[in-house]
A and B are shown apart, each in its own frame.
Chain A
């Protein structure tokens, strides 16, 4: 009985900060400025469908790049000595202690015309523009979210019983088979939580595209950021559609995970 009483503050918290806001967003999305029921905000939101698609594509690409970069790193990490593992994880975390905006500014400086990258490549005779395009946005996002991919994958991988790897070797598995038949399938839960932790925030991120992207690299987060102050109904509708997309994505991810666990 006592333990149930202890959960009351949390239940209130979830009511006030989760349930009520969601209901409010839902109500706002289906009403006009005067509070009448309407589908109008969704019609307005539909105008931004290309931004939706682009946001999801950018988020998917960033997530994929994060996974490709993080997975081998996590794998190599588990092979290191315990003390080195801690050091590398620490080094991964340190940039995250710095303010988000500062890190984006740093990338602006790195990528700008006559910035370090431009200067270096010019010396090699390569000239180009490295900022104000989709690639720069993706670079920024990958940089931003890479630790969120590395940590869950590394955590799951480091918990794989070394005895299982020995058992696989004992049964005749070479390095490739040990990886493909034991390490990869057992690290899927880490991949799923890593992908979720990167995809969800990167799909609705803002500012990164404003600072690093070009005029047509505007993302749905930026649209909500702009529109909410003038038309909160449309803003709410866009958020709601985004939530549905993310929900569908999570369901698909989890299905994939379950299948792997059974197969």
Chain B
């Protein structure tokens, strides 16, 4: 049976936001339907809170439109929008008690006193705070304050409720029960909830749809099942749940080579001999005898997790994570099987593997056998080689020639870490400088959404002079 098309309550069209020259939201577009529970998910610094603040009216976009019920509301201040927010720090009014906090919005609407009283009492019952009317908010526990904040937003009867990591400050147990409670409140009140979190489990539990964001862009929009089972790229796969993400080569439609073995899969249309990312969930790998296995490896560690064992299996140099109800002895060789359906093929995050710089030599020092070129307004000196000034040069830096400068200086200052994906052997880190992106291999885990200095090891680079006409 086909459901009638739900109406769109709010849409963001090509939103672009910049603070102090730094791009926070890079032309994002998003439609949110009525009565929907949408979660915006991403690491801290990805722009998810800014997206929420755009809808709330606290940030105005430099470019793009916010459409609410078919009308552009870019210029409408927060107090005129039919949207209420549950803030990350709750932001309850410390000088008012529970009742007056919840009644704040209704009093501003100049509703009659007895109606306010009726609505507030009913709402406090909904959030399980009956009898707390006269308490000062400072005397409430975190979970109770949380519920006051939710009641305060809901009682105004807005079309949309925005929730900015509302469960972040609560302990795990309370968070779990509040997740279910929130979902239940959303179902009862039939409001549109837009929920921001960095907790992927929370997103999967509560949402009708999940919007995965990174570095100011939307990576994927879909149902929790879609996002988990069909991630569009390695970033999403890595961010949602546990995953083995491997480098692979698509030999032909439905044929993939990973870890030196050719396997059958169900994905098509990637072309022949294309480099791709492959994701296999740990629970989709079956442990077999070495003879029966498509892949073989040595068990490195095994940890009992209650429902299953979590095993780390070394396939050559590459680590594979397996969740299995059966354990295998550490040090033993086992086989692994995956059915074609569970091998998910994705395009690479970057269209290149080696980092290529095409440039012109700006300074040449024959005595010291070095030369220099300009890169994004910084002068980079290359030792151990000399080319005459003006030479057009193509420098190819493999990912392992890049490193984060330990001395804090580096060849490029302030490079943004866009994503870190563990590929079984190394972390593949995607960096963004002012003008381009870089791929780096690293054995250490780096913090996403931070700025670091980048240095190049030109000993691992290859150089090629170009004809003047080519550049």
Residue interface bits B72-113, CB-to-A below 8 A is 1, else 0: 000001111001110101011111000000001100110000
A177, B79: Cα distance in complex, Å: 10
- Give residues of chain A (166-225) contacting chain B, Cβ–Cβ below 8 Å: 166-174, 177, 181-182, 185-186
- Check B152 for interface membership: any CB of A closer than 8 A: yes
Check if A166 sits within 8 Å of B58, measured CB to CB. yes
How many residues belonging to A are interface residues under a CB distance threshold of 8 Å?
Answer: 19
Any A CB within 8 A of the CB of B424: no
Which chain B residue has the least Cβ–Cβ distance from A161?
A: B91
B125 CB to nearest chain A CB (Å)? 20
User: Does any Cβ of A come within 8 Å of B156's Cβ?
Assistant: yes
Among B91, B105, B152, the one with the most A-chain Cβ atoms within 10 Å of its Cβ is: B91
Tell whether, in the assembled complex, residue B91 and residue A164 are in contact, meaning their CB atoms are under 8 Å apart: yes
Q: Does A163 contact B (CB under 8 A)?
A: yes
Residues on B with C-beta less than 8 A from A171 are 79, 84, 104-105, 108, 152-153, 156
Task: Digitize B52-79: 1 where CB-to-A-CB distance is under 8 Å, 0 elsewhere.
Answer: 0000111000000000000000000111
In the complex with contacts A171-B156, A172-B79, A260-B105 CB distance below 8 A: no
CB contacts under 8 Å to A, within B231-281, are: none
Could you tell me the distance between the alpha carbons of A172 and B152 in the complex, rounded to whole angstroms?
A: 12
Chain B neighbourhood of A92, CB < 8 A: none
| A219 CB to nearest B CB, Å | 37
Report the minimum CB–CB distance from B68 to chain A (whole Å).
15
The answer to whether A172 touches B94, judged by C-beta atoms less than 8 angstroms apart, is no
Bound CA span A252–B392, Å: 83
A-B contact count (CB 8 A): 61
- Interface flag for A261 (CB, 8 Å): yes
CA A186 to CA B156, docked complex, whole Å? 23
Residues of B close to A174: CB separation below 8 A: 77, 79
Q: Which chain B residues in 131-188 approach chain A with CB under 8 Å?
A: 152-153, 156
Instruction: Given A167-B85, A167-B87, check contact A172 B93 (CB 8 Å).
Output: no
Q: Which residues of chain A are within 8 angstroms of B87 by Cβ–Cβ distance?
A: 163, 166-167, 170
**Complex Cα gap A223–B79 (Å):** 57
Most interface-central of A163, A168, A171, A186 (chain B CB within 10 A)? A171
Taking CB atoms, residues of chain B closer than 8 Å to A168 are 93, 104
A170 close to B84 (CB less than 8 A): yes
B210 to chain A, nearest CB (A): 24
Apart from A167-B87, A170-B79, A172-B156, 4 more pairs, CB < 8 Å: A163-B87, A167-B85, A170-B56, A170-B83
* 16 pairs from A and B in contact (CB 8 Å cutoff): A161-B91, A166-B78, A166-B87, A167-B87, A169-B57, A169-B77, A170-B153, A171-B79, A171-B108, A172-B79, A172-B108, A173-B108, A174-B77, A182-B93, A186-B95, A260-B95
For the complex of A and B, list the 9 residue pairs with the smallest distance between their C-beta atoms, beginning with the closest.
A171-B105, A163-B91, A167-B91, A169-B78, A172-B108, A170-B85, A185-B95, A169-B79, A172-B79
